[in-house]
Amino acid sequence: ILNVEQSPQSLHVQEGDSTNFTCSFPSSNFYALHWYRWETAKSPEALFVMTLNGDEKKKGRISATLNTKEGYSYLYIKGSQPEDSATYLCASISGGYQKVTFGTGTKLQVIP
Amino acid sequence: DAGVTQSPTHLIKTRGQHVTLRCSPISGHKSVSWYQQVLGQGPQFIFQYYEKEERGRGNFPDRFSARQFPNYSSELNVNALLLGDSALYLCASSYNRAGSDEQYFGPGTRLTVT
């Protein structure tokens, strides 16, 4: 993997469903992986900063895992709500902030 | 406390002109990063400044420059504007320069080049 790739590009789920997205990133020279939520007409909001292989972080119904050896991170949302509708971005930091690369995001729409 | 602020909110410029965008970080934050976001793509990293020095640079031409002032606010300058420079420019601040720090984003400046 040379770039940061996110899948799927977009997702429609029913309210109450659980869902997950993937972020793949270059594993060489890894420093940190950031997850953001970006709602329309707002600024990107930091969700998690992950640095250690095997890291798991949780904030309410949202959690994330990190595998630095194979270069991927999963973001999980349990019991999706309409207010979770947003674009979820991941960003790979390598070389001690010498290189910051964002993925193109996963656009989530939660249908009431 | 005020969040990250950016000015102006919107801007229309003509090809060949120069533009200056401004960013004020959260009080106490010493690092400012600049990003360009084109519709349909993720933000592209332009610069990181920490303690008034450039600490990181993305793949942008020399037409793009920035600086950070003693109060940690920052300016992004773009010379000889091209149509392709039309984008949302985001500024983000963090306490220090480490990638392990959370970044806080401003609302962005929407630049349109005609």
Closest partner residue to A104 among B42, B58, B107, by Cβ? B42
The Cβ of residue B84 has, within 10 Å, a number of other Cβ atoms equal to: 8
| A97 pLDDT tier (thresholds 50, 70, 90) | low
User: What's the one-letter identity of residue B83?
Assistant: L
- Contact A100/B104, CB-based, under 8 Å? no
- Average pLDDT of each block of 10 consecutive residues along chain B (114 residues)? 91 98 96 94 93 91 97 97 97 87 94 98
Residues with Cβ within 8 Å of residue A81, at least 6 apart in sequence: A15, A61, A110
Q: Quote the pLDDT of residue A94.
A: 86
A51: Cα separation from own chain's centroid: 14
- Contact A101/B45, CB-based, under 8 Å? yes
Is the predicted pLDDT of residue A95 greater than 80, yes or no?
Answer: no
What six digits make up the tokens of A29? 């020279």
Which positions in chain B touch A104 (Cβ < 8 Å)?
Answer: 40-42
State the Cα angle at A65 between A64 and A70, rounded to 5°: 140
- Contact A100/B108, CB-based, under 8 Å? no
| A96 pLDDT tier (thresholds 50, 70, 90) | low
